[in-house]
Chains A and B, each alone.
Chain A
Amino acid sequence: MDLLEYQGKQLFSKHGVPVPEGRHAATAADAVAAAEELGYPVVIKAQVQIGGRGKAGGIKLATSRAEAEEHAGAIIGMDIRGFTVHEVWVEQASEIEEEYYAAVVFDRSAKQPMAMLSRMGGMDVEAVAEQDPEAMRMLHVDPLIGFQDFHGRRLAYEAGIAADVIRPVGAMLGKLYDVFVAEDATLVEVNPLLITKAREVVALDAKVTIDDNALYRHPDVAELSDLSAEDPQERMAKERGLTYVKLDGNVGILGNGAGLVMSTLDVVAAAGGRPANFLDAGGGSKAEAITSAVEVILSDEKVSAVLFNIFGGITRCDEVARGLIEAFAQIKPSVPFVVRLDGTNDVEGRELLAQAALPNVHTEATMLGAAQKVVELAG
C-alpha cells in the first residue's frame, strides 16, 4: 500500500521525524483556513501518487490569503498525468539551504534492509545514481541487530554532507529506520531531506509503502485511502476478497494461482489479444467466489470476451463450472466465454458445462487453444 505524502508525514511525526507543520484539506475553503491558521508563507501540495507534481503545477507557494485561494482552487480538481487531485496538504514554507536524499528500502536480493543517503537530493535520484554512482551511499542493516549510530555516521561521512549536520542527519536515518520497522514499511524515502537556514534537518517529502500483509498490525494505516488512485473495479474486487488488477485491454481473464494467471495474460498477448485484467480466483475457490469474480470482470465495460483458464489442484473444476452456470443465471452475460478446465474433477466440470449448454460458452482443451479462441471472439 502506497501512502500519500501527507499520510507518510503523519507517520513520520508519530516517530519523531521532523516535518514542516501542515494541515490536510479536501476543499479550497479548508485549504485557505489551514493557510490562515499556519501563517504565510505556505506551500499547497497536490496529494497524488505520481512524480513531477511540481512541474505539473501541483505545488505552489502562497504568501497571502488571495494567493492561497487562487492556488488551492486551481490545484483541487486538476489532472496530473491521469490522476485527479482530490486533496491537498498545506504546510509552512521552509527556508531551504541544502537538499539531501535519504531512504530505507527493502533489498530483496540481499534480504536485508538498506539505508541510503546522498547529498544530491531534490532531483530524480535514479538519474543521480546513474551519473555519479559515488554520490549515492548505501549500507545494509542486519535486521536482527537494527540500525546503529555507526550506520548513520558512516553514511553521513561517506556521502560527504556538511560537517555541522553529520550527527543530526545520522540520527534522522535512525528515525527513518524506526518508521520502516515499526510501521512494517517496505519503502521509506525522503526527497528532499532538507537542511534549513537554521541548520535544522527536516523531511520535506515522504514516500512510504506499507506491506499489505502486515496491515492487520496497523488498523489506522489500513483505513487510509487514496481517492485519486482507486479504480472502481479494483475497489469492488477488494471488497469481495479477490486479487484483481485492472489492465487496459478487452479480454477478461480469470484463472487460479498468480503464476498461472500471469502466464495466461502472456499467452493471450502472444495470440494478439489485449488482457483487460488479472484476476486470481485463488486456491480452492467455491462456486460463489467464481460468480462474484465474473461480476467484477464484466463490470469493466471494455470487456468483449472472457477466458477461464483453470488448472485444478485444490480448486475443483466442477465448482468452477457451477460458479459459471450460476453467474449466467444471475447476470446473463452478453459476451462470449472460453473455458479451459484441467486438473481435479475436470471431467465432471466439462460435463456440467455441456449439460447446462450455456449460450456463447466455448470449451477448449488446451491453454494455447483457449487463448487463440478468446482472442478471435474478442475482436
Chain B
Amino acid sequence: MAILVDGSTRLVVSGITGREGTFHSLRNRDYGTQVVAGVTPGKGGQDVEGIPVFDTFHAAVSETGANTAMIFVPPRFAADSILEAENAGIALIIAITEGIPAHDELRVYNHLRRGSSRLIGPNCPGILSPGKANVGIIPAQFFKEGNVGLVSRSGTLTYQIGNELAQGGFGNSSIVGIGGDPVPGSSFIDVLELFEADPETELIVMCGEIGGSAEEEAAEYIAASVSKPVVAYIAGFTAPPGKTMGHAGAIVSGSQGTAAAKAEALESRGVRVGRNPTQVAEIAVEILGARV
C-alpha cells in the first residue's frame, strides 16, 4: 500500500511538450509510472517518446483512461489547466507549477472543494510512492520502500529529511509535497487522514514551515484523529516578521505564523518536534527502533 499514487496510477501530463515537462514525464515513466498521455493544445496527434499528446484533457481521458493529472504549464495557464482536468473527470490533480496568482488559487480551491477531485500543490514537488510510482520532480534515488509517511510544504527539505531517515534505515510508504503556496489544494490534515488509513504507514513525518496556521490546525487534528506516531519539523525559527522566505506562503504576519507558535501547538498535543532535520530522523529511530 501507499497513498495517492501507485501501480494503478494512469498519468496525463499538461505541458508535456515543454522542456521541463518532457524531462520529468520521461523520468516518471522510467521510474515505472504509467504515463499514458500528454495535453498541449495545438499539438494533438503528436507524441513524446511514444506518449500520445492530445489537445484537450477530455480527449486524453476518453482515449487513455487517465485518472491522475500532473500540471507542468507556466503560472498564467495553470489555473485553467487544473480546472480543465477537473472538468474532464480526473480524480487526482498534482500541480507542480510555481508562481500561480493567489486569486487564481482561491477560485480553483473553492471550486474543487465542491466536487470530488483532489488537488495536491501547486508549487509542490509532487508525490513519490517508492517502488510503485513517482509523479513530479522528487529525486527518487534517495528514497526506498518502507513504513514512514512523509508530508511536507517544502521540496528540498523533504529530500534532506528523507535522506536522514534512509541513513537510519527507514524507507517511505509515500512522500507527499503539499507545496509552499498560501492556498494549497490539500492540507496537512487531508494527507494525515490518508496516512492514518494506510496499513503500510507506521509513522508519519510532517514537515512544516512559517506562515499561515496549517500546522496548528494539523496539531488539533492529530490529537483528535491520528493514532499513529507523528514527528514534526518546522523551518523558519530565525525568519523575521514581514519578509517572505522564498515560498509565497512563508511569511510571518504580526504575531501569526511563527515557527515557535507552531512547534508549541504540536508539542502541547504530544507531537514531538525535531529542532533540525537530523533530530527528526533520530526521533523516528527512537520510536520505531533502528533498522540498520
Contact = CB atoms under 8 A, between A and B. Distances in A.
A245 B211 CA distance: 16
B247 to A, nearest CB: 5
B172 interface: no
A360 interface: no
A184 B101 contact: yes
Contacts of A40: none
B244 to A, nearest CB: 8
A277 to B, nearest CB: 11
A186 B102 contact: yes
Quick one: which of B211, B236, B250 has the most chain A CB within 10 A? B236
A344 interface: yes
A283 B155 CA distance: 10
Contacts of A367: 160, 276-278
Quick one: which of A109, A255, A275, A368 has the most chain B CB within 10 A? A109
Contacts of B245: 245, 258, 261-262, 278
Contacts, number: 163
A334 to B, nearest CB: 26
A275 B238 contact: yes
Contacts of A261: 245-246
B154 A257 contact: yes
B212 A108 contact: yes
B76 interface: yes
A211 B102 contact: yes
B75 A213 contact: yes
A123 interface: no
Interface residues of A, number: 51
A372 to B, nearest CB: 12
A79 interface: no
Contacts of B153: 259
A55 interface: no
B100 interface: yes
A283 B123 CA distance: 12
B210 interface: yes
A263 B246 contact: no
Interface stretch (B7-15, B39-47, B56-64, B103-111): B103-111
B138 interface: yes
Given A247-B240, A265-B238, A313-B159, A113 B137 contact: no
B173 interface: no
Contacts of B182: 106, 108, 186
A259 B183 contact: no
A133 to B, nearest CB: 16
Interface string A276-320: 001010010000000000000000000000000001111000000
A262 B250 contact: yes
A269 interface: yes
B102 A143 contact: no
Interface of B: 75-76, 99-104, 106-107, 109-111, 125, 137-139, 141-142, 152-160, 163, 180, 182-183, 207, 209-213, 217, 233, 235-240, 243-250, 254, 259, 275-278
Interface of A: 106, 108-109, 111-113, 126, 142-144, 181, 184, 186, 211-214, 216-217, 243, 245, 247, 255-263, 265-270, 275, 278, 280, 283, 311-314, 342-344, 366-368
